[in-house]
Structure 1
């Protein structure tokens, strides 16, 4: 009789189905969010430009979804994705991967990072390679550390997925379930907002 709500990183829907479990997922559509960021980036580039994707932990759903959203946007705009590698959500790893991409593809035009930590690492790599202003960087999460970089243009865009509200959305829906009320789920998902964040 215990009610369960899944927040932020979605449990595998097929596994849930096979166990006959109905656990609503409360969280953002990561693919849609990263596509918003990718679409905005694409407007600053020209078709055929080379880009690299620095993804999160590749076994996690949200990393997979964000990479898919970036690819959707880049493919639609005719960009050439030269590399997709994991930075494991970390600043140092993001820096290492970005540095490698910059040296392997000197004419790369943009780096799309699956979270802002990796974007911070990418910004350092771009600066170290002497390519500040020549290689665009985007992230995802809208953490505090990224805000001054959005302001001065070191980062072009990120996505805000109301992270501080995720638990609130989850608890509100858990309370509904406990009271026996219906939750507003579509295919087992209660979608929370994601917004594009650019220089103000």
Structure 2
């Protein structure tokens, strides 16, 4: 996701007015899979490197949202290449064992985007407060739903805390409105499964009032499923990430709202914390990169 120039400038400035010099520091930067969100994270890391002077970054990316073996291979490769730290968006908690091996070789680890439950090896976590961002989505739904309405939920990857929290936060904020959940399913944050799960919900419940998706590709899939269904009423669609086809769905009037993250900042915060920790400087354990509600009225500010 690319922000408007003015907004991007303000966000960049908020990260660090004067990044710590990073000559002769080499780090690894690993993201989950090829979607615009993670491409923007790479842009943020590159921007920090340009500002900090001399930071060497080795980039790597998994093939999919469930490519555990791919991430493990990248971690091992980067340690072999002599990185002093790794900034990673962990695809699954099971990569922690490999990260422990990296730490044993004096490699610092900063997590980005999502945490690894009960793992104490991280130096810091730079992420959206996904529970609060989920509450933002729930707050929007609360304004458009009423007692007796029905809701379908497209979940992300089971067991990934960031994705689970997006659903938990939404439901917490929606409490007080007697909405019936008529279907929910796992999408692995893919458009294909988003289409499939949404089609199942729409087929079983053609009168469904709303659908909430915990990630962007699945939201775009739900938009396609809603379009294909040709129902005689508007299904309220709320997504998360505002990426991967959501803008087109919103412009077409199919998607009503989404929660945008700031992946550019997430990466800059994460890399900055990693560099500081390598230099022996103190860093915050939890760094919130922010979020915002996107609707058709303000969507151009997030494109």
How is 1:44-63 mapped onto 2 (pairs within 5 angstroms)? 44-63=144-163
Contact 2:138 2:169 in 1 (8 A): yes
Measured on the aligned residues, the alpha-carbon RMSD in Å equals: 1.8
Determine the structure 1 residue equivalent to 2:271: 171
Structure 2 CA distance for aligned equivalents of residues 47 and 38 of structure 1: 14
Determine the structure 2 residue equivalent to 1:193: 290
Q: 1:5 to 1:22 in 2, by over 3 A?
A: closer
Q: 1:11 to 1:23 in 2, by over 3 A?
A: farther
Kindly indicate whether structure 1 or structure 2 has the higher relative contact order, using CA contacts under 8 Å at least 6 residues apart.
Answer: 1
Determine the structure 2 residue equivalent to 1:3: 108
Structure 1 spans left out of the alignment, 5+ residues: none
Q: 1:181 aligns with which of 281, 285, 291?
A: 281
Structure 2 CA distance for aligned equivalents of residues 104 and 133 of structure 1: 16
Structure 2 spans left out of the alignment, 5+ residues: 1-105, 298-303
Which segments of structure 1 move beyond 6 Å, counting only runs of 4 or more? none
Contact 1:56 1:89 in 2 (8 A): yes
Determine the structure 2 residue equivalent to 1:135: 235
Determine the structure 2 residue equivalent to 1:88: 188
Rg (Cα) greater in structure: 2
Structure 1 CA distance for aligned equivalents of residues 200 and 235 of structure 2: 14
Contact 2:217 2:244 in 1 (8 A): no
Structure 2 CA distance for aligned equivalents of residues 147 and 132 of structure 1: 23
Contact 1:133 1:154 in 2 (8 A): no
1:182 aligned counterpart, secondary structure: coil
Determine the structure 1 residue equivalent to 2:90: none
Q: 1:132 to 1:180 in 2, by over 3 A?
A: farther
Query: Do structure 1's residue 159 and structure 2's residue 259 form an aligned pair?
Result: yes
Task: Give a deviation string over 1:31-78, Cα, whole Å, max 9, x none.
Answer: 111221121122112122110100111121222111112221332433
Determine the structure 2 residue equivalent to 1:113: 213
Determine the structure 2 residue equivalent to 1:15: 119
2:277 aligned counterpart, secondary structure: helix
Q: Which has the higher mean CA deviation after the structures are superposed, 190-199 or 147-156?
A: 147-156
TM-score (norm 2): 0.59
Q: Which has the higher mean CA deviation after the structures are superposed, 51-60 or 164-173?
A: 164-173
What is the CA-CA distance between 1:172 and the residue it aligns to? 1.0
What is the CA-CA distance between 1:123 and the residue it aligns to? 1.1
1:25 aligned counterpart, secondary structure: strand
What is the CA-CA distance between 1:11 and the residue it aligns to? 1.5
Determine the structure 1 residue equivalent to 2:141: 41
